[in-house]
Amino acid sequence: MRRWNGWGDEEDREELGAELLAFLREHIGPGRPREDLSLAQALAAVPPPRLPTSTRFSQDSELRLRHARGQSFADYLALRSGDPGPLAEAVALPGTHEETAEALAEAGRLGAIVIAYGGGTSVAGQLQVPRGERPVLNISLARMNRLLGIDERAQLARFGAGTPGPQIEAQLRGYRALLGHFPQSYRHSTLGGWVMTRASGQQSLRYGSIGQLFEGGRLITPGGELSFGGTPAAGSGPDLRELLLGSQGRLGLLTEVSVRIRGLPEHEDFHAVFFPDWENALEAARSIAQAELPLSMLRLSNELETETRMRRSGHAQSIKWLQRYLGMRGVGGGQCMMLFGASGSLAGVRRMRREALALAKRWQGVHVGKLIGQSWRKNRFRSPLLRNALWEQGYAADCVASTVNWPAATGLMRAVERAAREALAAMGERVHVCTHLSQVGRQGCSLCTSLVWPLQAEREADLALWQRLRLATAEATHAHGGSLSHQQAPAPGGDEFGLRLLRAAAAALDPGQMMNPGKLF
Amino acid sequence: MRRWNGWGDEEDREELGAELLAFLREHIGPGRPREDLSLAQALAAVPPPRLPTSTRFSQDSELRLRHARGQSFADYLALRSGDPGPLAEAVALPGTHEETAEALAEAGRLGAIVIAYGGGTSVAGQLQVPRGERPVLNISLARMNRLLGIDERAQLARFGAGTPGPQIEAQLRGYRALLGHFPQSYRHSTLGGWVMTRASGQQSLRYGSIGQLFEGGRLITPGGELSFGGTPAAGSGPDLRELLLGSQGRLGLLTEVSVRIRGLPEHEDFHAVFFPDWENALEAARSIAQAELPLSMLRLSNELETETRMRRSGHAQSIKWLQRYLGMRGVGGGQCMMLFGASGSLAGVRRMRREALALAKRWQGVHVGKLIGQSWRKNRFRSPLLRNALWEQGYAADCVASTVNWPAATGLMRAVERAAREALAAMGERVHVCTHLSQVGRQGCSLCTSLVWPLQAEREADLALWQRLRLATAEATHAHGGSLSHQQAPAPGGDEFGLRLLRAAAAALDPGQMMNPGKLF
């Protein structure tokens, strides 16, 4: 059963460990734990629905509550410590494309706003139900979670849009195939949600981001239906798929998604390399990306993230030996850890490893083997559970993600971290702030800055402090040549002018403004 | 000097050769040469401009005539044998982004329609001047042909949108860099034109199509200006670049284009492999594409294209020896030739060649070395000149390009060829029709079918015959699971519904319908 007020399933727990907790206390002071609102309390406060009953929608209180929010910090705070905010009047769980069309038609007759719901892991606030006169309905794609067809010769598979990551890969495994899309939210997020948020995965370096994997599908809009795909992109006009990618449900309901699949790799390796400082590590990451080795992933932690990961590992004795070895090899304080992975034939994996390590060595990187990489692989989808563990200890956690070209990456990273520290210092608080780099490409990379800070006495103060952090880090990102990801930020080139264009496109498909109006554009 | 009524520069000539000519005569009967309209005759017929003179636009008759048409068969026919059709009233040749904006503003004041002009190589009829009350102005980007900036660490370069292929590569060579975009029109087509037509190049398998190389730029629309790019694509909303790709000038004037560049490859090889039949050759092409070897190109000729290429080579004695060798290796009549190329480090090129040849061998492919590939490389941009040579011998030539998934490729190819033959048979003519496959990917490929048929007694009959061919091949393409490229065809998923969406986007940027209205959508 999914946790109603936090990440993951109820039985999923992640411990902070004594060493990390001591490190946090020393850095940002003691946490301030607070009592959570219980599910029973939250259910007691659910208002009665404002719509007549319908066979296509359920008005069950718990179902409505469980579809109320996503996983942004504001969502998390709302569910943990107070009022979940307005709820949809009812939730539809269609099982087919046709049932989805019927649910949308009924929503239209009721004059309702529709919010499409996939895995509920949105961190951009897109699932939040607006307060207002118009009733809101959730249409969840969760029951549309099956493989609908596969063409092995064309390497294409078609799934229900509500299929979550593990069920995609499980259904493909029988064909010795994989999709290879592994965002951090993999266990719960869905194929349709990945398209609607233009998601990247941890191994997108090899398998491509969802934009490259998304081949086509079926979209239901208030103005009619649209089919995409079926042939390789032709040189004939704009590609409408691209308008859908990242459109956050604003253009319609995606019911079926066709994706490009691959054969299962014969072999997969993950390696750790330590660098004496950030500057060398960054140059190594850039060299490896620009050499276009077909690695499956590359991730680089900055100084404090490297230290935090060491303290989180729970293997104090092994870390001591590792540090002794690194010290002998000239890597001491200020060290930065890179993880990279390679998938493919055994010979191909060996070759990529050799070439990547040769480039790393040029920038003073010291290879320490596969153990840390294996541990990363095992725990790769568990990090979001840390938010639950931190909360229980009285700490808040969030992250800020951006993309940036290589020449501006270091400046941006330092500026965002400084902005976060200064914003909290002005409020008399300290923040633990560290960054890793991922999604490397020839032009640049993504930066993901993690923030941990002590909870305040009450929810409004937490929200104010978080908004201050968001504003400060967003300003620093823009001032230093970056673009925010995962935000209610406009699209690339999306100044007021680009937004006008997107609004016009949405209005053509959705003249009555039914689809999640007010979000994104 | 560019030829005013055909492909290429005036001094560029390509001969058919006696053997190919005899082969054509035998296959489709003798050609029927016709006298061309001369430049002087065409100039004498240019009507006076309907607009007052302006410092921003030239009304020179020859300039207007030279911007009247593109390179579609209808364009070619119009210029060679009759009336070039309506001309723009004047042509602007701005040198900067600002001058382009001024020219567009002036066009707006004059109530004119604007057709953007790059290299004039459009084969989709987008350059044709509409007949009507509203005056038409051409804005040519030809003077904006320089490298404006380069960031070697981010592997980005910014060019004027009117820069043609050879000037792009020449300006990058000083930085030991290349773009790697080599469409057949490379010598004359421009960067902005590639974006506006969503072009692919002969080596897009390695370097990516223009959609992957296009990083950003500046667009001037009647409603205002828009800037794109500057950071890697972020997970935040639809990517407006994609709406521009393939928009055929309908959304605005692109003045500057930023592209992703690479280091010059150390080594480059092209190899020829012969297969005993099409079925084996196609499976080899699919295997190589799905193995994701980073080859630079792969091109496969069907039976008749292979034979035609042999007869065109002009090396009858060598071909005889080649055939004797192939016969000994089990490759006889019905043979199909594959060319593939690899670029990169010497070791990388050798590895790719080894892996590609191993896969080819599984499908009975016989490697015949690098000579044919070298000759292809040398002549790769000269094929369009054959249209001129054929015309002089009294033959018309055109091609039909489509994309298709692997499982449908053979059926589509046979159906398109059959449809062309039957369409002409119904009119009492024969057509030489052969196909090659290129732009291979994991899902499918492009098919390009070449058509040669005898000219009729007069232009109207030629046009009618060509339209019949187009219709028949387009119907066969759609009936067999393909998508047409390079056509006035709607976008992927672009039924009436998709077109509505594109029209809405265009109307948001261009409320007065200035930008090439009526084309594409």
Q: A241–B493: do the CB atoms touch at under 8 Å?
A: yes
B105 appears as a binding residue in the annotation: no
| Surface-to-core class of residue B330, CB atoms within 10 Å of its CB (0-12 exposed, 13-18 middle, 19+ buried) | exposed
Give the dihedral of Cα atoms B473, B479, B483, B484; nearest 10 deg: 20
Q: B237–A521: do the CB atoms touch at under 8 Å?
A: yes
Mean pLDDT across B332-347: 96
| Surface-to-core class of residue B27, CB atoms within 10 Å of its CB (0-12 exposed, 13-18 middle, 19+ buried) | middle
Concatenated DSSP letters for A52-105? ---SSSB--HHHHHHTS--SSHHHHHHHHHS------SEEE--SSHHHHHHHHH
Check if the beta carbon of residue B152 is closer than 8 Å to that of residue B177.
yes
In the CATH hierarchy, which top-level class contains the domain B386-484? alpha beta
How far apart (Å, rounded) are the C-alpha atoms in residues B233 and A198?
A: 10
| The two structure tokens encoding residue A1 | 């059963």
In the CATH hierarchy, which top-level class contains the domain A48-264+490-521? alpha beta
Mean pLDDT across B133-140: 96
Helices B346-362 and B278-290, interaxial angle, to 10°? Answer: 140
> Residues with Cβ < 8 Å from B381, sequence gap 6 or more?
B182, B184, B185, B186, B187
Whole-number percent of chain B with pLDDT over 70: 97
Among all residues of chain B, which has the CA nearest to that of A196?
A: B237
Interface test with B, best of A345, A406, A501 (most B CBs within 10 A): A501
SS3 B67: coil
> Residues with Cβ < 8 Å from A460, sequence gap 6 or more?
none
Q: A262–B497: do the CB atoms touch at under 8 Å?
A: no
247-276 of A, contacting B, C-beta below 8 A: 247-248, 260, 262-263
User: How confident is the model over B392-411, as pLDDT tens digits?
Assistant: 999 999 999 999 999 999 99
Fold held by B273-379:
Alpha-Beta Plaits (3.30.70)
pLDDT at residue B497, rounded to an integer: 65
| The two structure tokens encoding residue A420 | 């976060």
A200 appears as a binding residue in the annotation: yes
How far apart (Å, rounded) are the C-alpha atoms in residues A104 and A92?
A: 9
Q: Is B225 on the interface with A (CB under 8 A)?
A: yes
485-504 of A, contacting B, C-beta below 8 A: 485-487, 489-495, 497-498, 500-504
Per-residue pLDDT of chain A in tens (521 residues, 90 and over written 9): 999 999 999 999 998 999 999 999 999 999 999 999 999 999 999 999 999 888 999 999 999 999 999 999 999 999 998 788 999 999 999 999 999 999 999 999 999 999 999 999 998 888 999 999 999 999 999 999 999 999 999 999 999 999 999 999 999 999 999 999 999 999 999 999 999 999 999 999 999 999 999 999 999 999 889 888 888 876 667 787 888 888 889 999 999 999 999 999 999 999 999 999 999 999 999 999 999 999 999 999 999 999 999 998 888 889 999 999 999 999 999 999 999 999 999 999 999 999 999 999 999 999 999 999 999 999 999 999 999 999 999 999 999 999 999 999 999 999 999 999 999 999 999 999 999 999 999 999 999 999 999 999 999 999 999 999 999 999 999 999 999 886 544 444 445 666 777 788 888 889 899 999 988 77
Does residue B491 have a pLDDT over 70?
A: no
B198 appears as a binding residue in the annotation: yes
How far apart (Å, rounded) are the C-alpha atoms in residues A86 and A69?
A: 9
How far apart (Å, rounded) are the C-alpha atoms in residues B98 and B95?
A: 8
pLDDT at residue A67, rounded to an integer: 96
- Which residue among A151, A224, A236 sits closest to B497, beta carbon to beta carbon? A224
Residues in chain A with CB shorter than 8 Å from the CB of B486 are: 235-236
Distance, CA of A276 to chain centre: 30
Residue A156: beta bridge partners?
A: A151, A260
pLDDT at residue B81, rounded to an integer: 84
Q: Which residues of A334-346 are buried (b: 16+ CB within 10 A; e: fewer)?
A: ebbbbbbbbbbee
Helices A459-479 and A409-425, interaxial angle, to 10°? Answer: 150
Interface test with A, best of B298, B442, B501, B503 (most A CBs within 10 A): B501
B197 appears as a binding residue in the annotation: yes
- Which residue among A153, A154, A238 sits closest to B247, beta carbon to beta carbon? A238
Cα–Cα distances in angstroms (integers) from residue A242 to residues A122, A411, A494, B86, B503, in the given order: 20, 31, 14, 36, 16
- Which residue among B241, B402, B492 sits closest to A241, beta carbon to beta carbon? B492
Mean pLDDT across B166-178: 98
Q: Tell me the pLDDT band of B327, cut-offs 50, 70 and 90.
A: very high
Q: Is B72 on the interface with A (CB under 8 A)?
A: no
Q: B235–A260: do the CB atoms touch at under 8 Å?
A: no
Q: Is A121 on the interface with B (CB under 8 A)?
A: no
Q: Is B149 on the interface with A (CB under 8 A)?
A: no
- Say if B273-379 and B386-484 have the same CATH topology: no
| The two structure tokens encoding residue B314 | 């002009």
| The two structure tokens encoding residue A485 | 């990801």
pLDDT at residue B488, rounded to an integer: 45
User: How confident is the model over B27-51, as pLDDT tens digits?
Assistant: 999 999 999 999 999 999 999 999 9
Q: Which residues of B411-428 are buried (b: 16+ CB within 10 A; e: fewer)?
A: ebbebbbebbbebbeeee
Annotate B402-445 with three-state secondary structure.
EEEEHHHHHHHHHHHHHHHHHHHHCCCCCCEEEEEEECCCCCEE
Residues in chain B with CB shorter than 8 Å from the CB of A226 are: 493, 495, 497-498
Q: What average pLDDT is seen over chain B?
A: 93
How far apart (Å, rounded) are the C-alpha atoms in residues B381 and B169?
A: 15
Element (H, E) at A288: helix A278-290
Q: Considering the domain A267-379 in this protein, what is its CATH number?
A: 3.30.70.3450
Least confident of B170-184, B213-227, B240-254, B436-450: B240-254
Residues in chain A with CB shorter than 8 Å from the CB of B197 are: 235
Distance from CA of A156 to the nearest CA of B (A): 7
Mean pLDDT across B60-69: 96
Q: Is B246 on the interface with A (CB under 8 A)?
A: yes
> Residues with Cβ < 8 Å from B156, sequence gap 6 or more?
A405, A443, B150, B215, B258, B259, B260, B261
Interface test with A, best of B126, B231, B351 (most A CBs within 10 A): B231
- Which residue among B200, B260, B492 sits closest to A228, beta carbon to beta carbon? B492
- Tokens 């040189």 sit at which residue? A235
In the CATH hierarchy, which top-level class contains the domain B36-264+490-521? alpha beta
Phi then psi for A137, rounded to 5 degrees?
-120, 140
Q: Is A158 on the interface with B (CB under 8 A)?
A: no
Check if the beta carbon of residue B184 is closer than 8 Å to that of residue B198.
no
Q: A402–B234: do the CB atoms touch at under 8 Å?
A: yes
- Tokens 């080859």 sit at which residue? B295
pLDDT at residue B493, rounded to an integer: 45
Does residue B519 have a pLDDT over 90?
A: no
Q: Is A176 on the interface with B (CB under 8 A)?
A: no
Residues in chain A with CB shorter than 8 Å from the CB of B286 are: 153
Among all residues of chain B, which has the CA nearest to that of A439?
A: B232
Phi then psi for B413, rounded to 5 degrees?
-60, -50
Show me where the domains of chain A are located.
Answer: 48-264+490-521, 267-379, 386-484
| The two structure tokens encoding residue A368 | 């320490």
Phi then psi for A95, rounded to 5 degrees?
-105, -10
pLDDT at residue B236, rounded to an integer: 64
Concatenated DSSP letters for B18-49? HHHHHHHHHHH------PPPPHHHHHHTPPPP
Distance from CA of B422 to the nearest CA of A (A): 26
